[in-house]
């Protein structure tokens, strides 16, 4: 089935790699007009058919300009996020502030920039990327990360309730462990403590009851559904896609 997003204009953050890139490709395949953005413009190469734009979501003015300049959106996909490995005792002030700025505040800013256009046209779907490490489940050494992703769930519900009568839906996706470039960095960082890269990878794999990592395309398929009219009766939800981690 193709064309599920035909006639819809979609704006994505962090579309250069991982879940964001897979989602940009899936949106294109389903016929959306895609504006794909990332802090690192080089990573956007190869997204044929998309309008690409360098955008650091920590830059409020640039976010406002980029979304304002894109024209009214039907779909906003918020993918930007960073995983710190810390506990309440090791988290630094800098890590706390950075995590909230990127994982939460930047979503507020993109949503605030997109909402007026969506409200004017009486339709819109916002898809935020949260995590299983959130209000759903604690993961070891994910103190500030899990705290910010729980905030994403709260932000999602707030936006959903304030716009429920205006044709605008807002949902978040809560992935388990997904094989992306940044996961590779976390595996490398944990290798010495785990004994080897293989052992560090196995520890991540073991979290999913299915015994494997997710792939970015599986998350993208859910993003397509949430962005499409097929999910018209769904708003304010945290949708779990985790290979059985929370079962
Ligand atoms: P990733 O971390 O490998 O890549 C992130 C992308 O974001 C990169 O292209 C990077 O250039 C871009 N980026 C970083 N800072 C930015 C900024 N300030 N402005 C704009 N772009 C910026 O991708 P991923 O692992 O697919 O993670 C994407 C999202 O999914 C994140 O929010 C992450 O928390 C969430 N998530 C990931 C996993 C996982 O296991 N990979 C699991 C659950 C949730």
Ligand 1 centroid to Cα of residue 123, in Å, is 27
182 lines ligand 1 (CB under 6 A): yes
Ligand 1 centroid to Cα of residue 20, in Å, is 7
Q: What digits encode the pLDDT tens for the residues 51-65?
A: 999 999 999 999 999
Give the pLDDT band of residue 144 (cuts 50, 70, 90). Answer: very high
Phi then psi for residue 176, to 5 deg, are -75, -150
pLDDT value at residue 1: 61
Phi-psi region of 4 (alpha: psi -120 to 50; beta: other; left: phi over 0): alpha
**What value does the CA radius of gyration of the chain take, rounded to a whole number of Å?**
17
User: For the purposes of burial, counting CB atoms within 10 Å of the CB of 165, is it exposed (0-12), middle (13-18) or buried (19 or more)?
Assistant: exposed
Helix (H, G, I), strand (E, B) or coil at 33: strand
Contact 58, 66 (CB under 8 A): no
Ligand 1 atom with minimal separation from the 145 CA: 34
Contact 170, 160 (CB under 8 A): yes
What's the average model confidence in pLDDT over 27-37? 98
Ligand 1 atom with minimal separation from the 56 CA: 19
Is-catalytic flag, 145? yes
Ligand 1 centroid to Cα of residue 53, in Å, is 16
């Amino acid at each position: 089935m193709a064309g599920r997003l035909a006639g819809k204009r979609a704006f994505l953050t962090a579309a250069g790699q991982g879940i964001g890139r897979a989602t940009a490709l899936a949106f294109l395949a389903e016929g959306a007009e895609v504006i794909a953005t990332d802090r690192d413009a080089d990573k956007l190469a190869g997204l044929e058919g998309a309008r690409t734009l360098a955008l650091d979501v920590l830059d409020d003015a640039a976010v406002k300009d980029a979304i304002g300049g894109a024209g009214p959106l039907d779909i906003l996909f918020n993918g930007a996020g960073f995983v710190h490995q810390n506990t309440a005792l090791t988290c630094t002030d800098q890590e706390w502030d950075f995590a909230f700025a990127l994982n939460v505040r930047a979503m507020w800013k993109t949503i605030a920039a997109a909402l007026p256009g969506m409200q004017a046209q009486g339709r819109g779907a916002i898809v935020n990327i949260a995590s299983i490490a959130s209000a759903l489940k604690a993961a070891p050494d994910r103190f500030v990360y899990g705290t910010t992703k729980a905030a994403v769930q709260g932000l999602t519900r707030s936006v959903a309730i304030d716009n429920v009568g205006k044709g605008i839906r807002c949902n978040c996706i809560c992935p388990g462990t997904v094989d992306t470039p940044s996961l590779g960095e976390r595996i490398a960082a944990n290798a010495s403590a785990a004994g080897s890269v293989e052992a560090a990878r196995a520890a991540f794999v073991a979290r999913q009851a299915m015994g494997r990592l997710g792939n970015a395309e599986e998350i993208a398929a859910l993003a397509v559904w949430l962005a499409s009219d097929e999910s018209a009766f769904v708003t304010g939800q945290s949708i779990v896609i985790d290979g059985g981690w929370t079962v």
